[in-house]
Structures are given as C-alpha cells and as structure tokens.
Amino acid sequence: MTDSPPAPGQRTGPPEIDATVPNSARIWNYWLGGKDNYPVDRDAGDEYRSIYPEIVDVARASRRFLTRAVRYLAGEANVRQFLDIGTGLPTVDNTHEVAQRVAPEARVVYVDNDPVVLAHARALLTSTQGVTAFIDADLHDPDAILAGAARTLDLGQPVALMLLGIVGHIDDDDEARSIVRRLMDALPSGSYLTICDGTNDLYESGVEAQQLYNQSGAVPYRLRSARQIAELFEGLELVEPGVVSCPRWRPDPADLSDGPPPEMDQVAGVGRKP
Ligand SMILES: C[S@@+](CC[C@H](N)C(=O)[O-])C[C@H]1O[C@@H](n2cnc3c(N)ncnc32)[C@H](O)[C@@H]1O
C-alpha cells in the first residue's frame, strides 16, 4: 500500500468507531461470515435475516460476482487500474488480490468513508506487487475521490470503477445518476463501470427488512428496481449478458452444476465507456 500524506479533508488521527449504532460494513461482514462486527451489528443483521433470510445469499453472491467481474476486467478487458468505492471490510478475494492474480502490476485504489473499514484496510489491504492505496472519502463527493485517486492512478488510462453494494447508500435518484456520470466522465474511453446493487422487484420481505434496517440508525440503503440500476449504465456498452440477477452474470461452470443460478433481488452489470 502506498502511505501518502493525507489529502485535504482526510482524517489524520485514529478513526472514531461507534459500536452502539449498527453499521453497513460490519453487518455486511457479519452476513459474509466475518468476525469484524459488534453485538449491535449482529442484532441488526439477525433481525434483517429473520424477515428476509435470502440476504445472506445476496451478500455472498455479491462477493462472488466481484471475483468474476475483476477477473474479466483484468483478463479479457485488459484493465490495469481499479477504483473500488465502498470497499467494505477486507475479506477473501478483495479486488486487488483478484486483479493482481491476473495482472501483478495492477493498481487498485480503495475508497470508503467508514472508520472501521479505514482501520482494517490500512492494515490488511496491502500488496507486495502492483500498488494498493486507500482513500478516506465519501461517494457524495466524487471530485474529492477523483483528486485522491489521481495520486495513484493515471486517469488518462482506462480505469475500472467498482460500485458494489454502495449506490443504494445514495438516496436520491438524480444524485446517484449524477455521481456515476461525474466519475465516468473523468475516465477515458476504454474505462469500465461495474455495479452490483440490491433491488426491490421480487421480494416484499426484502423491502420490509430494508425499511426496518433504515430505521435502526444505520446509514439507510435505498433499494431500486433493476431497471433503475440498468439506467446508471446509460451511454456505456454493456458487457454480455447485460444487467442481470447477480449470480447470472457470467457464472463459473461450477455455479451451474445445480442448474441455472437463482434469480435474486440484486442485479449486477459491467459497462464499457466507448
Ligand atoms: C454493503 S457494503 C459493500 C462492501 C463491498 N463493496 C462488497 O460488495 O462486499 C457498503 C460499503 O460502502 C461504504 N459506504 C457507504 N456509504 C458510503 C459513502 N457515502 N461513501 C463511501 N463509502 C460508503 C460502507 O462503509 C461499506 O463499506
């Protein structure tokens, strides 16, 4: 990891961690089977799961999608730079590990605004080859993200922008669209947008669980329709098979041993900037 001086607006002291309010990154970590969470997160995660048990498969499918998408981007698409916003707590097969397995020289910038993620990421998201850097920044401020990323990435060369499980944290539809557009506008032709996000098309129980979660004090998450998420790829060339239920995006052969992967209230897609 590069250890560069803090950019304007970045925290410099030890991160403040609030263990009394449930937290997106830690609940996600709990559903993924991780240990970096507190009782308040496990209680909120269990309450969610009691209404919508599918959430655990959704979280795990999202991480498996990340592996397939990054493998595609670093391999077939030949991308060497990644900007992963909404990193989450380190787990197995983080973006830089998958990318650098394919292309050891790959440069990866992680971005998150959560102090817990920040603390773990600085320690764990390191690479012995290529470059891995971490920016403490907020998706609501894409200009700060771009300025921070430019210290590690060459924004004149293609970049794969990764937005996995984070667009829902932007409540307003217009703002979500304008943030994605602002980020993609700053990247050159041949760059990619990758999104995976929860949807509200299939399961009423998922919507109900999310409503409860959003009242818990955690930063709310807005479920959108698959169509609304597909619209975020406007102006880009969608990589086959388009924006689909997350486990159906280019499944590995092993994923097909029990038949077609399930339809989920979570869609994913990859689009190329022409
Ligand atoms: C559901 S987790 C997804 C983690 C990872 N991308 C994955 O797919 O496994 C959402 C992550 O987005 C981060 N996040 C939420 N709102 C954010 C914002 N406005 N700016 C930056 N990061 C944010 C959270 O801290 C958390 O780490």
Q: What is the pLDDT of residues 17-28, one digit of tens each?
A: 788 899 999 999
Nearest C-alpha to atom 8 of ligand 1 is from which residue? 164
Percent share of the chain, pLDDT over 70:
95
CB-ligand 1 contact for 112 (6 Å cutoff): yes
CB-ligand 1 contact for 88 (6 Å cutoff): yes
Three-state DSSP class for residue 224: strand
Confidence label for 14 from pLDDT (cuts 50, 70 and 90): low
Q: How far does CA 189 lie from the centroid of its chain?
A: 22
Confidence label for 188 from pLDDT (cuts 50, 70 and 90): very high
pLDDT tens digits, 104-137: 999 999 999 998 898 888 777 777 788 999 999 9
Q: What pLDDT, on the 0 to 100 scale, is given for residue 258?
A: 87
pLDDT tens digits, 85-102: 999 998 889 999 999 999
CB-ligand 1 contact for 169 (6 Å cutoff): yes
Cβ distance 110 to 133 under 8 Å?
yes
Q: Which atom of ligand 1 is nearest to the CA of 163?
A: 6
CB-ligand 1 contact for 266 (6 Å cutoff): no
Percent share of the chain, pLDDT over 90:
79
Q: Which of 17, 29, 95, 169 to mutate to test the pocket of ligand 1 (most atoms within 8 A of CB)?
A: 169
Q: Residue 137 corresponds to which tokens in the numbers above? A: 């920044």
**Is pLDDT above 70 for 9?**
no
pLDDT tens digits, 147-171: 999 999 999 999 999 999 999 999 9
Closest CA to 142 of 114, 170, 107: 170
**Is pLDDT above 80 for 214?**
yes
**Is pLDDT above 70 for 8?**
no
C-alpha separations of 130 from 17, 86, 186 in Å: 30, 21, 23
CB-ligand 1 contact for 165 (6 Å cutoff): yes
Q: Residue 88 corresponds to which tokens in the numbers above? A: 């989450």
Q: Which of 93, 112, 197 to mutate to test the pocket of ligand 1 (most atoms within 8 A of CB)?
A: 112
- Output the CA 189–ligand 1 centroid distance in Å: 26
Nearest C-alpha to atom 1 of ligand 1 is from which residue? 165
Q: What pLDDT, on the 0 to 100 scale, is given for residue 25?
A: 92
Nearest C-alpha to atom 12 of ligand 1 is from which residue? 86
**Is pLDDT above 50 for 204?**
yes
Q: Which atom of ligand 1 is nearest to the CA of 169?
A: 16
Dihedral, CA of residue 8, residue 14, residue 15 and residue 17, to nearest 10 = -160
pLDDT tens digits, 21-59: 999 999 999 999 999 899 999 999 999 999 999 999 999
Q: How far is it between the farthest Cα atoms of the chain?
A: 51
- Output the CA 117–ligand 1 centroid distance in Å: 9
